[in-house]
A and B are shown apart, each in its own frame.
Chain A
């Protein structure tokens, strides 16, 4: 198993390399640069700034420099937020994004799979239809509609939650963002779980378990759910990566100082280092969580072996 993890980590290096290279050159061919936005710096100042950050070097040298810095663990300075390095921005924002993302993920997995199991056990009855309706609604309504509606209902009308802001991580400030992030995921997880649970309940080992006279609880929780959980595990990988690296919609609407906002902002401002940093961060999270999922497989499904 350890050998497998090690091998997977090795193969992640060329993948990361390709992504970094592609992103580096893509953002560079885009017209404009970090210092010729509409503010209109005088040409001399602009040239000096570009010289300071090495932006007039030939592109290949800049690329090699960037790779070199990256290998030494440095993402470089942010061009548009001159007081910060990209690393510092991440150090401040990432914990916040991760907190909200993890809470949303856990909520989605627990609530979603519970709803899915309940729906599967009551297939084609009212409860089932209720869950399906909820799942359809959850996966149809876009986040940028859910978020302001939550603000409107819980924040303005009922005054239960603050409308936005981080409030130094107060629990009450997290409810809205977590709920917004989790709702669509709850819907998808419930749908996945319902489908695979229905299949699992029909399988032979469940019939055998029932024939042996096991209690319904034991049949469902110990045997059926375990057989049905694989699709959820594989779905959870990329979802976790996406949730933990922050959502621009949620962070913008609820005014959360996470890292989700940086990507779009940085790409529009041609803040090259911040864009690259975000791409690398997302890629690392994605690779990491896909690896975790594959390792988890072996624990959930004894048929999977990595020896």
Chain B
């Protein structure tokens, strides 16, 4: 008997299937893709799991160093306690700690109002205050309060806000701006460039001269003018940033559209009587898509940098909302006293930019039809 294996029919891979297979074999790009997905999930979901919100101010924990162990540290209890007692306008007679509760006896020249015990609750360090004992003349009061355990994994900022939740919120903003402004820029660029490339002739000439003129203006001037017009508005920032970055896209798409239109297969389709719309959908758009996808992945890091740059200058996202640029700018001003304010946000921003770059490079290699 012969055992001829029946060969399965060779399935041709589609353009995108092929690109995906090649992207999958690129280790750096896949790790980066995974990292980006993780970063997006952590930034979107993370703030719900951090016990502090990004706006809560902890007056007792201003510029607290990052730590895996719980705050308050032993030496911080006394100062927090004395701060709270000072607000009651009484003097500390004696205090000691017993387990997770502190006991404090205060003394004053006049009888102590029991309601002043609430000052202990108001402090970020204590809660569940109870009156333990009161002397007969009312001038001595013994209270006890439980010590609140707090974790600040990334430390806190100048006003005592938790840096972890702020970094994650900032990530949301930076990633969202990157994506949205990227889409705005690509949309304007593709429509503008494709129109110029298709219509050609005089229209093309005029449209491209406009792009040239916009190019010749200093880039920062352009951005600042947009910020000046639109105000320091969060959503309009997307549009402003996107509206600045479409120029390259328009040029690239126009060039591509011009060259694709002259390809033989387009001429063949025209000769066969395919309609203009048919050619557009079947030939032009799919061929443009690769370039657009590559450019988009390279654009997103640019947008994030631009947004951070604007926020760094104080023109971008406004307090209490935050972005990586805002955090890095505060960090840069406090490197002498609180370097974690710079290091954590900088790490998040830079690692994201790296990952985006690797994904972009991987996509370029995967989508390049000449490189097979």
CB under 8 Å from chain B, chain A span 138-171: 140-142, 144-145, 147-149, 151-152, 156, 163
Is there a chain B Cβ closer than 8 Å to A27's Cβ?
yes
Is there a chain A Cβ closer than 8 Å to B336's Cβ?
yes
CB under 8 Å from chain B, chain A span 10-52: 15, 18-19, 22-23, 26-27, 30-32
Q: How far apart sit A37 and B349, CA to CA, in the bound complex (Å)? A: 35
Which of these, B305, B312, B328, B342, contacts A152 with CB under 8 Å? B342
Interchain CB contact under 8 A, A267 and B229: no
- Residues in B with CB closer than 8 Å to A118 are none
Interchain CB contact under 8 A, A23 and B221: yes
Interchain CB contact under 8 A, A27 and B312: no
B279-314 interface bits toward A, Cβ cutoff 8 Å, 1 = contact, 0 = none? 000000000000000000000010001001100110
Is there a chain A Cβ closer than 8 Å to B357's Cβ?
yes
Q: How far apart sit A283 and B218, CA to CA, in the bound complex (Å)? A: 8
Interchain CB contact under 8 A, A142 and B309: yes
Q: How far apart sit A19 and B213, CA to CA, in the bound complex (Å)? A: 8
In the complex, residue of chain A having the shortest beta-carbon distance to the beta carbon of B341: A148
Q: How far is the CB of A153 from chain B (nearest CB, A)?
A: 10
Q: How far apart sit A67 and B312, CA to CA, in the bound complex (Å)? A: 34
- Residues in A with CB closer than 8 Å to B220 are 248, 263-264
Is there a chain B Cβ closer than 8 Å to A282's Cβ?
yes
Q: How far apart sit A282 and B328, CA to CA, in the bound complex (Å)? A: 28
Is there a chain A Cβ closer than 8 Å to B171's Cβ?
no
Interchain CB contact under 8 A, A144 and B328: yes
CB under 8 Å from chain B, chain A span 167-200: none
Q: How far apart sit A268 and B228, CA to CA, in the bound complex (Å)? A: 7
Interchain CB contact under 8 A, B225 and A267: yes
Among B228, B229, B301, B308, the one with the most A-chain Cβ atoms within 10 Å of its Cβ is B228
Is there a chain A Cβ closer than 8 Å to B224's Cβ?
yes
Is there a chain A Cβ closer than 8 Å to B20's Cβ?
no
Is there a chain A Cβ closer than 8 Å to B354's Cβ?
yes
Interchain CB contact under 8 A, A264 and B328: no
- Residues in A with CB closer than 8 Å to B308 are 142, 144
Instruction: State whether A147 and B228 are in contact (beta carbons under 8 Å apart), knowing that A15-B216, A22-B213, A263-B220 are contacts in the complex.
Output: no
- Residues in A with CB closer than 8 Å to B329 are 144
Is there a chain A Cβ closer than 8 Å to B217's Cβ?
yes
Instruction: State whether A148 and B213 are in contact (beta carbons under 8 Å apart), knowing that A156-B335, A249-B309, A249-B312 are contacts in the complex.
Output: no
Q: How far apart sit A155 and B224, CA to CA, in the bound complex (Å)? A: 32
Is there a chain B Cβ closer than 8 Å to A253's Cβ?
yes
Q: How far is the CB of A288 from chain B (nearest CB, A)?
A: 14
Instruction: State whether A267 and B217 are in contact (beta carbons under 8 Å apart), knowing that A141-B353, A148-B335 are contacts in the complex.
Output: no
Q: How far is the CB of A240 from chain B (nearest CB, A)?
A: 15
Which of these, A19, A142, A248, A268, contacts B217 with CB under 8 Å? A19
The count of residues in chain A whose C-beta lies closer than 8 Å to any C-beta of chain B is 36
- Residues in B with CB closer than 8 Å to A149 are 342, 346
Instruction: State whether A30 and B213 are in contact (beta carbons under 8 Å apart), knowing that A140-B301, A151-B335, A248-B313 are contacts in the complex.
Output: no
Instruction: State whether A136 and B312 are in contact (beta carbons under 8 Å apart), knowing that A144-B332, A253-B332 are contacts in the complex.
Output: no
Is there a chain A Cβ closer than 8 Å to B189's Cβ?
no
In the complex, residue of chain A having the shortest beta-carbon distance to the beta carbon of B334: A148
CB under 8 Å from chain A, chain B span 191-218: 213, 216-218
Chain B interface residue number, banded? 20 to 34
Q: How far apart sit A279 and B216, CA to CA, in the bound complex (Å)? A: 10
- Residues in A with CB closer than 8 Å to B353 are 140-142
- Residues in B with CB closer than 8 Å to A253 are 332
B307-347 interface bits toward A, Cβ cutoff 8 Å, 1 = contact, 0 = none? 01100110100000000010011011001100100100010
Q: How far is the CB of A25 from chain B (nearest CB, A)?
A: 11
Is there a chain A Cβ closer than 8 Å to B350's Cβ?
yes
Q: How far apart sit A15 and B351, CA to CA, in the bound complex (Å)? A: 41
Instruction: State whether A279 and B218 are in contact (beta carbons under 8 Å apart), knowing that A148-B331, A148-B332 are contacts in the complex.
Output: yes
CB under 8 Å from chain B, chain A span 227-250: 248-249
Among B315, B331, B335, the one with the most A-chain Cβ atoms within 10 Å of its Cβ is B335
In the complex, residue of chain B having the shortest beta-carbon distance to the beta carbon of A287: B216
Instruction: State whether A145 and B221 are in contact (beta carbons under 8 Å apart), knowing that A15-B216, A18-B213, A156-B336 are contacts in the complex.
Output: no
B341-372 interface bits toward A, Cβ cutoff 8 Å, 1 = contact, 0 = none? 01000100110011001000000000000000
Interchain CB contact under 8 A, A19 and B216: yes
Instruction: State whether A145 and B349 are in contact (beta carbons under 8 Å apart), knowing that A140-B357, A263-B218 are contacts in the complex.
Output: yes
Interchain CB contact under 8 A, A26 and B335: no
Among A32, A144, A248, A282, the one with the most B-chain Cβ atoms within 10 Å of its Cβ is A144
Interchain CB contact under 8 A, A140 and B309: no
Q: How far is the CB of B233 from chain A (nearest CB, A)?
A: 14
In the complex, residue of chain A having the shortest beta-carbon distance to the beta carbon of B355: A140
- Residues in B with CB closer than 8 Å to A136 are 354, 357
- Residues in B with CB closer than 8 Å to A31 are 228-229
- Residues in A with CB closer than 8 Å to B224 are 263-264, 267-268
Q: How far is the CB of B155 from chain A (nearest CB, A)?
A: 15
Q: How far is the CB of B178 from chain A (nearest CB, A)?
A: 13
Interchain CB contact under 8 A, B217 and A144: no
In the complex, residue of chain B having the shortest beta-carbon distance to the beta carbon of A30: B228
Q: How far apart sit A137 and B339, CA to CA, in the bound complex (Å)? A: 21
Interchain CB contact under 8 A, B225 and A144: no
Q: How far apart sit A152 and B228, CA to CA, in the bound complex (Å)? A: 33
Q: How far apart sit A151 and B332, CA to CA, in the bound complex (Å)? A: 9
Interchain CB contact under 8 A, A30 and B225: yes
Q: How far is the CB of B84 from chain A (nearest CB, A)?
A: 34
Q: How far apart sit A136 and B342, CA to CA, in the bound complex (Å)? A: 21
- Residues in B with CB closer than 8 Å to A15 are 216
Interchain CB contact under 8 A, B328 and A22: no
- Residues in B with CB closer than 8 Å to A144 are 308-309, 312, 325, 328-329, 332
In the complex, residue of chain B having the shortest beta-carbon distance to the beta carbon of A253: B332
CB under 8 Å from chain A, chain B span 99-119: none
14 contacts between A and B (CB under 8 A): A140-B357, A142-B309, A144-B328, A148-B331, A148-B342, A151-B332, A249-B309, A253-B332, A264-B220, A264-B315, A267-B224, A267-B228, A268-B224, A279-B221
Given A140-B301, A142-B353, A278-B218, list of 6 further CB < 8 A pairs?
Answer: A30-B229, A32-B228, A144-B328, A144-B332, A145-B350, A268-B315
Identify the 7 closest CB pairs spanning chains A and B, nearest first: A148-B332, A267-B224, A30-B228, A152-B335, A145-B346, A140-B353, A144-B312
